[in-house]
Amino acid sequence: MDLLTLALLLLVLLCLLLGAGLWISMSLAAVGWVAMSQVHASPGLFLASAYWEATGSWTLAALPMFIWMGEILFRTRLSEELFNGLSPWVRRLPGGLLHVNILACGIFGSVSGSSAATCATVSKIALPELKRRGYSERVAIGSLATAGTLGIMIPPSIIMVVYAVAAEVSIIRVFIAGMIPGLIVMALFSLYIVVWAVLNPRQQPPPEPRLPMLAKLRRSAQLIPCGLLIVAVIGTMFVGWATATEAAAFGVLGSLILAAVTGALSWRNFLDSLLGATRLSCMIMFILAGAAFLTKAMALTGIPAALAAGAASLGLGPYGIIAILTVVYIILGTALDGVSMIVLTTSIVIPMVQGAGFDLVWFGIFIVLLVEIAEITPPLGFNLFVMQTMTGKEQTEIAAAALPFFLMLVLTVVLVTLFPVTLVTGLPEWLLAR
């Protein structure tokens, strides 16, 4: 059987298994088993070794810790403190408190690592407050749905950890590389709000009275606990004091202390956060293990190398390949979550990307941006589901409200593709070389 036929049969088998409702991890393992049986008489030996190698990793230990940290913070009053601490500084800008949505999601995302948790937690506080003050509900919903995706772009990010493990690159490098693109996304979101506010002055309340500087500083003191947590998690990694796993442990400890200080730490919340983190971690690790086996099987069949050579022979050039991958990932995002998108495609895509001469750290940020887009793409955009639950509105209405911010994400993809060193890979190279 030639490689093209085998690849098509494996793709059809994977689609059938997923369509039948089989778990993603089991579907990946089953397809890997079929592929491995074509080149080796004992595929079970490779299955056992792949599962052990994929899950018995010190690097991967950071994943459940970051997830647990986000679960703990989801049950605190951090989002309320962020809203109160940030609002005095943006109320005089065009768009007023709508900018708090962006800033609060960016800050909360930097300590939660989860898009859905960021969207739900900040929306719970911001939506009622913005509605009470007379802000446009459409823009408020659109900004929260898309700004929630900052939870997977601003490090530490669960998706970044999954990609780094799957692509075998440094987690810290991927984290650092996401800083500038994350800030660009926040800036573009706020810029759109400013432009919209200037063009639609009647759809927002009048500017609020100025606050004395002392009152601003007093309210901003609520940001101190979150700031200390960010320094403990991200700062220790950036200066080389801790690995990603150690920083994640610091984050869990800091989250527990923050929850205790704010009175949100109870046995019920503690157990709920632990159970939530365990369920999500197990799900992701099983998917990674299945993907690891499929990756090993595909490598032995020679399919990825053949596809990479075939892509190169088309003469599309590096940007042509990236354009095709962009379309493919956006289509995948309409039916799959971010983790599944990454682990399903890594074994095929990485050889193609390397063959085209792209840096794997840059490609990780590229994929994360596309996963952000997928989070607000119907019919399976996770943040659309979150906002639908929060507002009771139809998913199509929420997607339409998020469309202008969706375009800002697309613009960011274009910028990081045109200026990869300046916006992505330059910062980790500079920081880690010092």
Does the pLDDT of residue 188 top 90, yes or no?
yes
- Tell me the pLDDT band of 1, cut-offs 50, 70 and 90: low
Question: Could you tell me the CA-to-CA distances from 249 to 64, 71, 236, 256 in Å, in that order?
Answer: 10, 14, 11, 11
375-401: average pLDDT = 80
What's the CA gap between 100 and 121, in Å, rounded?
A: 13
pLDDT value, residue 337: 67
Q: What is the mean pLDDT of the chain?
A: 81
Top-ranked range on mean pLDDT: pick from 195-204, 303-312, 419-428: 419-428
Share of the chain above pLDDT 70, in %: 91
What is the torsion angle, in degrees rounded to the nearest 10, for the CA atoms of residue 190, residue 191, residue 196 and residue 199?
Answer: 140
What's the CA gap between 306 and 141, in Å, rounded?
A: 45
**Look-up: residue for tokens 């080389």?**
240
Does the pLDDT of residue 168 top 90, yes or no?
no
pLDDT value, residue 380: 64
- Joined together, the tokens standing for residue 192 give 């759109």
Chain centroid to Cα 369, Å, comes to 8
- Tell me the pLDDT band of 80, cut-offs 50, 70 and 90: confident
Q: Does 21 or 373 have the greater pLDDT score?
A: 373
- Tell me the pLDDT band of 310, cut-offs 50, 70 and 90: low
Name the 3-class secondary structure at 377: coil
Share of the chain above pLDDT 90, in %: 13
Contact between 373 and 330 under an 8 Å Cβ cutoff? The reply is yes
Q: Which of 28, 4, 5 is nearest to 296 (CA)?
A: 28
Q: Which of 290, 419, 317, 302 is nearest to 351 (CA)?
A: 302
pLDDT value, residue 336: 66
Handedness of CA 195, 145, 61, 300 (dihedral sign): negative
Q: Which of 12, 20, 25 is nearest to 339 (CA)?
A: 25
pLDDT value, residue 73: 78
pLDDT value, residue 315: 67
- Tell me the pLDDT band of 247, cut-offs 50, 70 and 90: confident
Q: What is the pLDDT of residues 8-50, one digit of tens each?
A: 787 788 778 877 878 777 887 888 888 888 777 676 666 777 7
pLDDT value, residue 180: 93
Top-ranked range on mean pLDDT: pick from 74-78, 83-87, 363-367: 363-367
At residue 243, what is the residue type?
T
Of the candidate ranges 175-179, 207-211, 387-391, the one whose mean pLDDT is the lowest: 207-211
**Which positions ≥6 away from 31 have C-beta within 8 Å?**
10, 13, 14, 17, 294, 297
Q: Which of 387, 340, 389 is nearest to 367 (CA)?
A: 340
Top-ranked range on mean pLDDT: pick from 8-17, 66-75, 230-239, 263-272: 263-272
Q: Which of 258, 226, 293 is nearest to 47 (CA)?
A: 293
What's the CA gap between 76 and 53, in Å, rounded?
A: 36
225-248: average pLDDT = 80
Q: pTM of the predicted model, to two decimals?
A: 0.79
Q: Does 185 or 286 have the greater pLDDT score?
A: 185
Q: What is the pLDDT of residues 320-363, one digit of tens each?
A: 888 888 887 877 776 666 777 787 777 778 877 887 788 999 99
- Tell me the pLDDT band of 92, cut-offs 50, 70 and 90: confident
What's the CA gap between 36 and 266, in Å, rounded?
A: 49
What's the CA gap between 252 and 64, in Å, rounded?
A: 10
What's the CA gap between 143 and 100, in Å, rounded?
A: 10
What's the CA gap between 177 and 228, in Å, rounded?
A: 22
Of the candidate ranges 238-252, 323-337, 396-410, the one whose mean pLDDT is the lowest: 323-337
Does the pLDDT of residue 258 top 70, yes or no?
yes
pLDDT value, residue 414: 92
pLDDT value, residue 312: 61
Does the pLDDT of residue 429 top 70, yes or no?
yes
In the chain, what are the domain boundaries? 25-30+42-432
**Look-up: residue for tokens 């956060």?**
273
pLDDT value, residue 240: 75
What's the CA gap between 109 and 107, in Å, rounded?
A: 5
pLDDT value, residue 2: 67
Q: What is the pLDDT of residues 119-165, one digit of tens each?
A: 877 887 788 888 888 888 899 999 988 988 888 888 878 888 888 88
Q: What element of type H or E holds 14?
A: helix 3-19
Question: Could you tell me the CA-to-CA distances from 354 to 242, 349, 429 in Å, in that order?
Answer: 29, 9, 19
- Joined together, the tokens standing for residue 102 give 């962006």
Terminal C-alpha separation, the chain: 52
Of the candidate ranges 43-47, 92-96, 280-284, 427-431, the one whose mean pLDDT is the lowest: 43-47
- Tell me the pLDDT band of 413, cut-offs 50, 70 and 90: very high
Does the pLDDT of residue 267 top 80, yes or no?
yes
